[in-house]
Amino acid sequence: MASLDLRPLSLGEILDRTFSLYRSHFLLFIGIAAIPSAVNLAANLIQVGLNAYLLKSAPESMMAGLTIGVALRVVFMLIAVVCYFVSQAGSVRAVSELYLGRETTITASLGGVREHIAPLFGVFALSVLLVGFGLLLLIIPGLYVAMRLMIASSAVVIEKRGPAEALRRSWDLVADNVGRAFLIVLLGLVIGLALTALFEVPFLVMMFFARDNPGMLQAAQALVALGSFVAATLGSPIGLIANSLFYFDLRVRKEGFDLQYMMNPDQAISGPRTSMPSIAP
């Protein structure tokens, strides 16, 4: 996005800008998204190799091998979670720079994201609790809560807010825009499912037919892991870009962010610091 174009956007324009940013900065977003996907790929490939080893091992070695496998899976899962928050923060920062008419790189987008990891984890944990409570009441309340909290990560990264404050900020901004939020999330889910069907399902079918051939089965499992890596790397940036653009659009509509930015860019980006309302419909 070479020039600054801050104005309210329709849902169609948000989606159009999402794909435009994705296409024009493909390597930037793929490079950032590949970080957690690569960790998951490594974990899955190690699991495939470990499974092959266990099939050839003596029965007395099976328990030790399984213990090692579980321990490795836990370690890789923790690393992947941290890498996901790094990737999320980097993607939000990249979209912010591009939205404001500035160029950026993978290195610049990831620079300084370490400070956002703990708040993003807090947002994730609190969101799970709140959405889970909503789901207990019935599916619709849970979805409603999820939509109201969907841009909290942008508030953490761009406005440097803490978890609870970021959730309240998202709740306030998304009010009266839940339908648009749902359609943006739905787009991300549809694209994710389509990429999964394209890059993973064929190898899952291959696994089914190779179940009696250990060598082919292991090859199919490795290809499933590789397909999962490709699908996640290609698909995850789209949802993050759309989410970030939606965040800025809400600030333009509700806070006059475009005018604030023209007058005082630094203060406009940090957002208003007035007291936030409590989370309530």
**DSSP designation for 111:** T
- Of 95, 97, 113, the closest CA to residue 36 belongs to 113
Q: Is residue 150 part of a domain?
A: no
Query: Would the pLDDT of 13 be above 90?
Result: yes
Domain count, the chain: 1
The pTM of this model reads: 0.85
Q: Is residue 128 part of a domain?
A: no
Cβ count near 34 (within 10 Å): 21
Domain with 46, as residue range(s), is 11-115+176-270
Q: Residue 191: its pLDDT value, please?
A: 95
Q: Residue 53: its pLDDT value, please?
A: 75
Q: Is residue 239 part of a domain?
A: yes
CA distances from 243 to 47, 109, 124, 182, 261 (A): 33, 17, 15, 11, 20
Q: Is residue 281 part of a domain?
A: no
Q: Is residue 148 part of a domain?
A: no
Q: Is residue 51 part of a domain?
A: yes
Kindly compute the dihedral angle of the four CA atoms of residues 91, 96, 101, 105, in this order, to the nearest 10 degrees.
-30
Q: Residue 48: its pLDDT value, please?
A: 87
Q: Is residue 154 part of a domain?
A: no
Q: Is residue 1 part of a domain?
A: no
CA distances from 253 to 8, 121, 148 (A): 6, 28, 16
* DSSP-derived 3-state class of residue 20: helix
Question: pLDDT category, 229, cuts 50, 70, 90?
Answer: very high
Query: Would the pLDDT of 171 be above 80?
Result: yes
- Of 142, 177, 141, 164, the closest CA to residue 250 belongs to 177
List all residues 6 or more positions away from 99 whose beta carbon is below 8 Å from its beta carbon.
1, 244, 245, 248
Question: pLDDT category, 264, cuts 50, 70, 90?
Answer: low
Query: Would the pLDDT of 199 be above 70?
Result: yes
